[in-house]
Chains A and B, each alone.
Chain A
């Protein structure tokens, strides 16, 4: 994670050369000598207190003035496996020897009486047996924390793990009374700068015995050969950065000790120890901790591999369940809705969205406007998701998976939605269309508990140039805004595997859809033949009833009583009415199967023809036709639309009371002002038929389009079966248009209709 420009002062921390500070902690003495003549070149300024010889007197002298040649050999031989117990100036010390800058560096730490008799190996033995009894990573880490505290006596021992972005989390903790718990807290990556982490990898142990101790300088401060201070990377006594000491002091820590946990050579975490007061730990015990840490690392690697395998198996099981349940479900969207939880668990996301395309969308969205995404958990809105999918289609490359932890930086429209979508993991289902499964994560800032140092907030120090660690926390907090927890390779793998499984489900559902549509086509054909039967074959016997009642009346009517004649006439009339309804039903059902003959049509001609068809009714009712302007040319099926006009015009002529009676066919063209009622369904052209007639109460504005729905007695207003408007609406809808009415009682009526975009 790279800091951005405004947080430049943080990088000062990264740049501080902490291995070249040129000083040591005061609880030991450091001597660096040349080989093979053993001439001392560098001495720590505190040498005289322990060795009884001033640094000036030691420099240029052979190191054998401090340690005799035999002891030196013993130290050289033993130091590879740990500190060597020696006597210096009559005091028991532990000696460590390593090479740096072409010099042999000897570090001597006096042993106190209490630690003189220690048996680090025996302690280690106890610790290892407790480690080996622990099962599972959390128990293992807890055992390690307890073991290290038992071994070192620190007040608080934490096992701290680095995340992929190098921020840390306290996974286990062992602490004594009177110490705050840090368990579960997250620490920003800048708390442990880059070069410190590099040093942790090279030199796994670091003790700061007293954060308030004064650093002991080395003499000379710079080596003549290199012109810079002795490299203390490998030195146990190395003094630490003032920034780090301040950090510790701010946390109320008096001494600290850390042991690196490495996994496959890379820094995995730390065992970090704090003590409220100054606290020294012997080199032997420190070394025991290192051995413990190595064992722990090995054990962790094994545990982690096991956990990864378990996680893979769990995800595979989730996917299997998901795919099975989706495959068995009635409809994919419904099945997904009831298993959204599994979907989220699969990649550890907080939200997910599916864009599956119109073919699978039971809601039947208009494909030109994109499908409504199915949303689960915390996600951006449907519109935002659609926009994201459109962007992904164009920008996210050709791969099948895409992921980012900073979506807002890549796709600015969602920059403000870090609350739900800072992280995106997308798998693409279709190389052509915007069909995706998308998983979302919120910004990490919201998901973890940051160690905002509740104990000792950073003090502002005006005019003080140096960086204050806790002061940097706010800046860092800014930096992680809009960033989600990273997607692991396992997350991406699970997403990609789900894509494969879903493809199978989609195929199965497509096959099911095809089967259903075949069945539907069959049942449509059956329905058609049924309505054909009803429409035609039932009409015949009804005609027969009419015929024979007519014959009977003709032939024998004279011999019947008037009452008998009336009854027979009524039988004929009922048969006639039933037959008329059947005919309309037949016609209405046939409209559904009509193949439209689309063409460029002169609507004026169509209206003229329709007016001619109903001319008798217009003349009889003395209805004037008003035609203020010529109608346009437009694409439609002229024959069917003529039927619509004829129906609307004849209705308009029919339902009028007093003179003057008139009807007006007309239209609104593109961009022309039109009343709100004409704009209910948007289309470039809206046609209408207007009349000043009796009008229709609002509660009937929809029901008049229902089959056989009549508002007036059968014989009023010239009769009518109530099928005309239903058929007209069906014809208009067949064109992709809509037919509706705007009217009020005694205010006349205006029937509007639109036409679709032509044949698809």
Chain B
């Protein structure tokens, strides 16, 4: 296992949700650092290594909120999936919206997974645990040089 593993990019405008996830991440054996940005523009800056994020490493995974002020999650997703250089990064939509249109639309735009943001507390922790177990244990992510532990 290399020391500088690629980070998980958390795109989330809600501080409460971000704090909750970071809190959970600290408790779980999360093998990657979590980097948080607050909106779509910052997410694209990070991915394209612009502005404040000129030195940002390419993330292993993007956890993307759908409904954000300014640029929406759908727009970030479309831009990402339209770029051959970034298309390979798995994008997990993490939204409180259960609307059928949001789910179907996200997959249509190329989302790799749609996770419904559960209630804070135990349900949220269970989801985070499942995410960790699948994406960082069962699945193989692009750009990994080593096989998972």
Contacts and interface: CB of A to CB of B under 8 A. Distances in A.
Chains A and B bind each other:
yes
Interface of A: 536, 539-541, 543-548, 550-551, 572, 576, 583, 587, 590, 594, 639-640, 643
B147 to A, nearest CB: 35
B1 interface: no
Given A539-B96, A547-B17, A547-B19, A594 B119 contact: no
Contacts of A639: 100, 104
30 contacts: A536-B67, A540-B13, A540-B16, A540-B17, A541-B16, A543-B14, A543-B16, A543-B17, A543-B120, A544-B15, A546-B119, A546-B120, A546-B121, A547-B16, A547-B17, A547-B19, A547-B120, A548-B16, A550-B20, A550-B121, A551-B20, A551-B23, A572-B120, A572-B121, A576-B119, A583-B96, A587-B98, A590-B101, A639-B100, A639-B104
Contacts, number: 49
B107 to A, nearest CB: 12
Interface in B111-131: 117, 119-121
Given A543-B16, A544-B16, A546-B119, 16 more contacts: A536-B67, A536-B97, A540-B13, A540-B16, A540-B17, A543-B117, A545-B16, A546-B16, A546-B120, A547-B19, A547-B20, A548-B16, A551-B23, A572-B121, A587-B98, A590-B101
Contacts of B117: 543
Contact of A543 (B23, B96, B100): B96
Nearest to B104: A639
A509 B28 CA distance: 68
A539 B120 CA distance: 12
A583 B98 contact: yes
A576 B96 CA distance: 13
Contacts of B85: none
A543 B99 CA distance: 18
Interface of B: 13-17, 19-20, 23, 67, 96-101, 104, 117, 119-121
B16 to A, nearest CB: 3
A544 B67 contact: no
A436 B14 CA distance: 62
Interface pairs A-B: 10 shortest CB-CB: A544-B16, A547-B16, A546-B120, A547-B120, A550-B121, A536-B67, A547-B20, A540-B14, A550-B120, A639-B100
A176 B15 CA distance: 110
Contacts of A594: 101
Contacts of B121: 546, 550, 572
Contacts of A539: 96
A540 B100 CA distance: 20
B139 to A, nearest CB: 25
Contacts of A640: 100
A590 B98 CA distance: 12
Nearest to B17: A543
Contacts of A643: 100
- The winner among B16, B100, B120 for most chain A CB atoms within 10 A is B120
B14 A544 contact: yes
B38 to A, nearest CB: 12
Contacts of B97: 536
Contacts of B15: 544
Nearest to B102: A590
Contacts of A550: 20, 120-121
A548 B101 CA distance: 30
Taking each of A547, A548, A587, A643, which has the highest tally of chain B beta carbons within 10 Å of its own beta carbon?
A547
A548 B16 CA distance: 7
B97 to A, nearest CB: 8
Contacts of B67: 536
B50 to A, nearest CB: 27
B44 to A, nearest CB: 21
B78 to A, nearest CB: 19
Contacts of B98: 583, 587
A619 B20 CA distance: 33
Contacts of B19: 547, 551
Contacts of A547: 16-17, 19-20, 120
A645 to B, nearest CB: 13
A447 to B, nearest CB: 66
Contacts of A540: 13-14, 16-17
A640 B119 CA distance: 25
